[in-house]
Amino acid sequence: MNIEKKLSEKIIEAFQSLYGGTIDNVTFEKTSSDFKGDLTFVVFNYLKLSKKSPEVTANEIGTYLIQNLTEVSDFNAVKGFLNITINDFFWLNYFNSINGKAIPFDSAPPNPSTIMVEYSSPNTNKPLHLGHVRNNLLGYSVAEILKATGNHVIKTNIVNDRGIHICKSMLAWQKWGNGETPESTGMKGDHLVGKYYVVFDKQYKSQITELKSEGLSEEQAIANSPLMKEAQQMLLDWENNNADVRKLWTMMNGWVYKGFESTYKMMGVDFDKIYYESNTYLLGKNIIEEGLKKDILKRRADNSVYIDLTADGLDEKTLLRGDGTSVYITQDLGTAVQRADEDHFNKLIYTVGNEQDYHFKVLFLILKKLGYEWADGLFHLSYGMVELPEGKMKSREGTVVDADELMQEMINTAAATTKELGKATDLTNDELEKLYRTIGLGALKYFMLKIDPKKKMLFNPAESIDFNGNTAPFIQFNYVRIQALLRKAKEGSSDFADIDLVKQNVELLPKEKELIIKLYNFNTTLNQAAKEYSPALIANYVYDLAKEYSQYYHEIPILKEELKDLMLFRLQLSKTIGFTIKKSMNLLGIDVPERM
């Protein structure tokens, strides 16, 4: 029951009948609130065919639609904008097809795509922080949206579990840890390891300051730092499979993995496949050898391997050092090829911040030049950084906003706000704890996802927990309001049997028509969100739906309506809106409470 498709067919027919020509790619816009109408067709691109003015063309097409399509009840032409009004019969007939049920997702495509979505990608030298929160929530929601549109989705994570940064934490713990463990300190393992990453940085800076006081320059002090030399030696020992270093590495990474698992569980995200850099960092070397044989890659005099991308507006990129060791992009080349071989994806989406835009341009171009056809399916979901009112975060200085602490703070704030507003007074303690978690984490997720991914965002916890405005608590409250309304209706023994709304001749109020149109647009919004990889479209859709329903609830009597058929229709409309709010929020990874 797609009105756009019917309109498109009739408009194409109208141009053939009226002007003797064929058009295609008919598209519609939502009619401006300044004019009457539901959909707008813009005629400017077709005036060569009609050979008439924009207004005359729009009027003639509108008249043809009135005469030949029963669903069109009225139109108005403003210059070249044809504003089309769809009659209530169509909207009632559409609502009758769902009538109090959840709106079904559009039918899955006959040949669904396999799409891999990579997100999280943490380092094992520190706990997850605010930046990781946006990354995880964005990647998870995009995966859920793609899944809902009929794709086979593989959620994946690559853990950066090796490198100099890991050795810094290991060395600091070895020197100053005194055998501390998560059990002996009561700290989460990732927090404990992160503590020693900060300790290393403080000791390192202190050492640099001391060396400079002895007369060394900044560069000389850095080059002669005994602590950094020890960390670099530890990395070499790790790469050479030194038993003691590997044992320490396994133990401390084990602490971190357990900590990550707890954070992911609280955050509500999961993965189908997890890769570890320690297993993948050497994968690209064979690919580089093949590139050398094909003369796509070049070797310098110092034996390093590079590719010249200057003709493509980029630069020369080193892919292998002169001593044969790999660089970061070496691993990315190998991992991409491994994933293509294992999962035969149609698209691979990397959810990574926009500071890595250049890296992915280079990576994708190299893979294309190496002849991998699937490289056309690689996409960098580049998102803006999260900043705080006081500025950027710095991991080495220990000034990051910890993800665990942030989530707990949101839960605590939700509890305080709920109590202050006098809500949820009839729930048990267990129900209250669950409610505070649902509201607090929902507020965090929604605030992160309602903003276009490409934009930088300023995170304000207090603003996100507000029960009014464009927030999750406002949306959740309206869902709860609907559930309370339905419970009250059942207690009053109202008949919930499905009714044929068209036969009952229910006359739609403007607000009811508007709400049904919003329900009708759910799948259009979902498909657009999948196309643009933007949960923000779903977030703002569900907010608009909740806001319109809130106004409707306050303005229009539902249970007090004397006409039974009309009351039942309004209950069914409320019920369907509740289903749609819940489904939309779930696509964002957000739960909705049944009571508040």
Using one digit for the tens of pLDDT, what is the confidence trace for 452-474?
999 988 877 777 777 788 999 99
pLDDT tens digits, 36-78: 999 999 999 999 999 999 999 999 999 999 999 999 999 999 9
Question: Taking the CA of residue 415 as centre, how many other CA atoms within 13 Å lie in the half-sphere pointing to its CB?
Answer: 14
The CATH superfamily of 442-587 is Isoleucyl-tRNA Synthetase; Domain 1 (1.10.730.10)
What is the arithmetic mean of pLDDT over 435-443? Answer: 96
C-alpha closest to that of 522 among 151, 148, 153: 148
What's the pLDDT score for residue 195?
95
pLDDT value, residue 497: 57
E strand map for 232-367: 273-276, 298-299, 305-308, 316-320, 347-353
What's the token pair of residue 554?
Answer: 């306050």
Q: Per-residue confidence at 103, pLDDT binned at 50, 70, 90?
A: confident
Taking residues 107-116, report their average pLDDT: 84
pLDDT tens sequence across 189-214: 999 999 999 999 999 999 999 999 99
Q: For 480-491, what is each residue's pLDDT tens digit?
A: 999 999 999 888
Q: Is the dihedral of CA 222, 223, 226, 228 positive or negative?
A: positive
Domain with CATH 3.30.1360.70 in the chain: 3-86
Q: Give tens-digit pLDDT for 271-309.
A: 999 999 998 888 899 999 999 999 999 999 999 999 999
Report the distance separating Cα 412 and Cα 433, nearest Å: 10
Instruction: Give me the percent of the chain exceeding a pLDDT of 70.
Output: 95
Distance, in Å, from the CA atom of 491 to the CA atom of 473, rounded to the nearest integer, reads: 27
What's the confidence (pLDDT) of residue 24? Answer: 85
The CATH number of the structural domain formed by 3-86 is 3.30.1360.70
Residues of the chain with CATH 1.10.730.10: 442-587
Instruction: Give residue-wise pLDDT tens across range 569-583.
Output: 999 999 999 999 999
Tell me: pLDDT of 1 over 80. no
Residue type, 511: K
Choose among 52, 72, 88, 81: nearest CA to 10: 72
Asked if the model's pLDDT at residue 393 lies above 60, the reply is no
* Phi, psi angles (nearest 5°) of residue 411: -65, -45
The fraction of the chain above a pLDDT of 90, given in percent, is: 78
